[in-house]
Structure 1
Amino acid sequence: MSSRNRLIALIGAGIAIVVAAVTTVSVTLTRPQTAPRPDPVAATVPVALNAQGLPQDFTVGIVLTLGQTGEPGSEYNRAAQGARVAAQRFTQGGAAVALSAENDGGTADGARAAVRKLAEQGASGIVVTTTGAQARAAAQTAQELGLPAILPYAEPSEPADTTWTTGPSGASVEAALETALDGKGRVLLVNDGGQVPASVQIAKTLNLNGFEDLTALAQEAAVQTGDQLRQPAEDAPAGAKPTRVAKPADAVIVSAATPQRLARLVQALQARDVSVPLVLPDGAGSPAFASTLADLDGTASGQLVSVAPAEGDATALQQDAQGRGMSAYLSAVRLAAGDPDITNLTGDAPFAADAWAADSRSHDAVVALVRAAAVAGSGDPSEVGATLRTLAIGPGEGAAGPALDFSRPAALTAQVRPVYASPQDLGLRPADEDAPRLVWVPAPASP
């Protein structure tokens, strides 16, 4: 290359470097200096809630099943204390909301009587916080009386114009279970009277009624997962050695008729060192499961997998509208727990005793009925129900959990997702040394 050509090449390279430098500086100077802000709607969620237009002497009825020893339907009576938080938030905002609670006694007849009594007391709507036959009977009676009813923890026997459920549908639970079991080829079912969607592919089933006791069931499950050796049979030749199954299960679905029985199954499996994921399709989100597992010295770890919409305390950590809505709710829980004059739904103990368990589903059910009455400007049950059918509520209306659309009987529109157990205290509820340490998060808990 000649001297002239080399000079031209050097000048061209220099120009290219200068252009690149200028471009870099320009991009740097014009780049936004602040991160995008969270959803502005989230910042509008206050702790105190107002309800302009709410009629005076407005009452919401609560149907619950009392009991602390595993009575069917009682597993959510502590979660139902979220209704107390909702009423207190509206009262703080200047709209008095009265709650009237009736115990159904754990029977369908008791549920019917409870609904009739609440109607006679002037309730404008009811929240049915029980499950099973009682919940179905309560919903049917409410329909007959024209009383709007919301079921946070159960489904009515038949859809009705005045009855809504805010829990996840069976189809959404199935889809979430498929996600939780993705990649698992040999799924073992350990069952104590529970229900599992038929679409779930099960390689082997162990039912408690087929074993001498819970310990024997757990031992066989541990053998099937390869975590325990199978001991030689009594008639085996001398010198026979324990063996390991050739194709061990890579996940265990644990199902039971009640959350208390579910906790006992989980603890028994943990005691036999079962190491594969334990997938819990139903009941694990109830306070009864958490308290029973803690009483049995079971472990809340990422090994435990359940399915749920974004309705737990961990939602408050989200930087969006729902995160702020849940955060406001948990602030209200702390305030209510700090006031000794605020009692539980039955008025026989301070709210603080159940603050750890009060959930967003019962809270949001009360919020929905209050919003419907305020829009209608009436406490007449027929008008409240008719208005509720036109409403959708979310964080802007004071909801703590996922958005709800009451234009359809199954009001929950959010997707169900796998959630993982963690013993971490998020510091979002009042300190309580007696409360179980279990929170469900939408990502595997750190070991």
Structure 2
Amino acid sequence: MSSRSRLITLIAAGAAVVVVAAVVLSLVLTRPKETPLPDPVAATVPVALQADGLPKDASVGVILTLGQSGEPGSEYNRAAQGAVVAAQRFAQGGTPVALRAENDRGTEDGARAAVQALSGQGVSGVVITSTGPQAQAAAQKAAELGLPAILPYTEPSAAAPTTWTTGPTATAVDTALQSALAGKTRVLIVADGAAAPASVRSVQALNLENFADVAELAQEAAVQTGDQFRPLAEDAPEGTEPVRVAEPADALVVSAAAPQRLARLVQALQSRDVSVPMVLPAGAATPAFATTLAELDGTASGQLVTVTPAAGDATALQQDAQGRGMSAFLSAVRLAAGNTTITNLTGDAPFSADAWAADARSHDAIVALVRAAALAGSSEPAKVGAALGTLSFGPGEGLAGPALDFSRPAALTAPAVPAYASAQDLGLRPPDEAAPRVVWVPAPAGS
């Protein structure tokens, strides 16, 4: 690294420390925090990353579902821009890696064709950032070709020796969901095109298909939570006073077939002054949910709860190794956004346009594949996959999110936890007046 690059890196890291210190003083949570235990990772995590042994021709493929209008599988295509940040960090460290992006077009055939195309381009592995059937098809095709594949946002439909997920398993999500609902005895399910988890015991379920529109559904939900009066019967005597339900629901589990529809449902419930906690599926943590909620003038507040690994911006406030890893990642986001020559994965827009959404999961998937290629000293997929299967990583290796152990198909080592929405600007990303403000703050362990 040149002296100038080293200086820029140190300045950015120092700035991040100052910003985080200021935010720690201002961000007040209503739940107690545990004192973090000391850890052996260095007091700072460098912004620039190095990968000694990485072949000069190293490249990694990224598969996306493109679209901004609610196309199934596209909910993470802006979050996937974290891959760009990882590539930039390695370039800063003098070990550049090329990223090759392909659009799966939202279909299974398109996904298989995307994997085939990337294999033909000589990539060492692929990161599949889509969800749904096309993500499963892509994973299966990669396994057939012996191409290492990481799925940050979903699980593969079938296990394969060179296929990993770095998100929480369905079991982990269910455990966190039960934690989020602890102490709630009258749970109401409100759904739009998606079934609630089978483990949720509810007193009632309201489905949009049984109502004229989302407003009518939200009104009935508000009645059931006691936030609105029961409507009077048409034949009620004059002067009859409206009443509230005798045993109101004390929590909602809100589910929808897409993050955009979830945001629409949440905003409708908020407009009816529903006051109980709303527990939301994983789609709430997507850029698509945040964007749609902002467009509808919905509110990001602690009333909204989702379940997710502690991998969001708020972890930069932690005084531990993961906090330092996330701070370094966010410093890299700011540096990349400030360079007008850096584009998004598809090269059709500046990275800065998606800097608000680029996430740790896509970043960490790239870091893992690059580290494996460096250990193997080869770009051959078979060697990279074999090396990756022996590795585990944490902040010391450049991860921004929780530690990953690739000796098992579900590489995430941290549990999913309840996380609470906040509209507070943490000041850790580049200023962007157009960006929605939804930060998910994980509940402290044991809370």
TM-score if structure 1 supplies the norm length?
A: 0.90
Residue 40 of structure 1, CA deviation? 4.4
C-alpha displacement of 1:162: 1.0
- 1:390 corresponding residue in structure 2: 390
Give secondary structure in 2 for the equivalent of 1:284: helix
1:351 Cα deviation after fit: 0.3
Q: Following TM superposition, by how much is the alpha carbon of 1:37 offset from its aligned partner in structure 2, in angstroms?
A: 9.5
Contact 2:325 2:398 in 1 (8 A): yes
Identical columns (%): 74
CA RMSD of aligned residues (A): 1.4
1:280: Cα distance to partner?
0.5
1:272 deviates by: 0.2
- In the other structure, the counterpart of 2:138 is 138
Q: 1:36 to 1:294 in 2, by over 3 A?
A: closer
- Per the alignment, residue 203 of structure 2 pairs with 203
Unaligned runs of 5+ in 1: 1-34
CA drift of 1:138 comes to 0.2
Match of 1:246 in 2: 246
1:253-295, Cα deviation, whole Å (9 max, x unpaired):
1101111110001000000000000111221110000010000
Following the alignment from structure 1 to structure 2, what is the Cα–Cα distance between the partners of residues 227 and 402? Answer: 39
Q: Which residue of 2 aligns with 1:13?
A: none
Q: How does 1:226-305 map to 2 (within 5 A)?
A: 226-305=226-305
Paired residue for 2:174? 174
Aligned to 1:214: 214
Checking the alignment, whether the CA contact within 8 Å between 1:44 and 1:396 is kept in structure 2 is: no
Give the partner amino acid of 1:223: V
Change (3 A) 1:338 1:146: same
Q: CA deviation at 1:233?
A: 2.3
**8 A contact 2:36–2:319 mirrored in 1:** no
Classify the secondary structure of the residue corresponding to 1:283: helix
Counterpart Cα distance in 2 of 1:338 and 1:144: 40
Q: Is the 8 A contact 1:225 1:248 kept in 2?
A: yes
* Cα distance per residue 1:200-222 (max 9 Å; x no partner): 21111000001000000000000
Asked if 2 retains the 8 angstrom alpha-carbon contact of 1:53 and 1:374, the reply is: yes
Give, in angstroms, the shift of residue 81 of structure 1: 0.1
Counterpart code for 2:177? L
2:296 alignment partner AA: L
Distance of 1:336 and 1:95 partners within structure 2: 17
> For 1:125 and 1:36, how far apart are their aligned partners in 2?
36
Q: Which runs of 4+ in 1 moved over 6 A?
A: none
Q: Distance in 1 between matches of 2:194 and 2:302?
A: 22
Matched with 1:81 is 81
Distance 1:93 1:244 in 2: 63
Cα distance in 2 for partners of 1:245, 1:56 equals 68
Unaligned runs of 5+ in 2: 1-34
The answer on whether the counterparts of 2:59 and 2:98 sit within 8 Å (CA) in structure 1 is: yes
Q: Which residue of 2 aligns with 1:15?
A: none
Shift in CA distance, 210/36, structure 1 to aligned 2, threshold 3 Å:
closer
Q: Distance in 2 between matches of 1:266 and 1:150?
A: 31
Aligned partners of 2:395 and 2:168: how far apart in 1? 19
Paired residue for 2:366? 366
Deviation track 1:145-195 (CA, whole Å, cap 9, x = no partner) reads: 000000001111101111100010111111111111111100000001224
User: What amino acid maps onto 2:107 in structure 1?
Assistant: T
Asked whether 1:110 is paired with 2:77, we answer no
Q: Deviations over 1:334-379 (max 9, x none)?
A: 0000000000000000000000000000000000000000000000
SS of 2:190's partner is strand
Question: 1:1-53 CA deviation, whole Å, 9 max, x = no partner?
Answer: xxxxxxxxxxxxxxxxxxxxxxxxxxxxxxxxxx9995341425210000000
> Highest relative contact order (Cα 8 Å, sep 6+), 1 or 2?
2
Q: Using a 3 Å threshold, how does the CA distance of structure 1 residues 427 and 44 change in structure 2: closer, same or farther?
A: closer
Provide the C-alpha distance between the structure 1 equivalents of 2:403 and 2:103, rounded to a whole number of angstroms. 29
Aligned length: 410
Contact 1:259 1:284 in 2 (8 A): yes
Task: Report the counterpart of residue 9 of structure 2 in structure 1.
Answer: none
Check conservation: 1:81, 1:358, Cα contact below 8 A: yes
Whose radius of gyration is greater, 1 or 2? 1
* 1:374 counterpart letter in structure 2: A
SS in structure 2 at match of 1:219: helix
Equivalences for 1:316-395 in 2 at 5 Å? 316-395=316-395
Matched residue SS, 1:41: coil
CA-CA distance at 1:443 after TM superposition: 3.9
Question: Are the structure 2 counterparts of residues 269 and 37 from structure 1 closer, same or farther at C-alpha, using a change threshold of 3 Å?
Answer: closer
Does the 8 Å CA contact 1:49/1:92 hold for their aligned counterparts?
yes
Q: Following the alignment from structure 1 to structure 2, what is the Cα–Cα distance between the partners of residues 205 and 69?
A: 28
The alpha carbon displacement at 1:237 in A equals 3.9
Counterpart contact for 1:301–1:423, Cα < 8 Å: yes
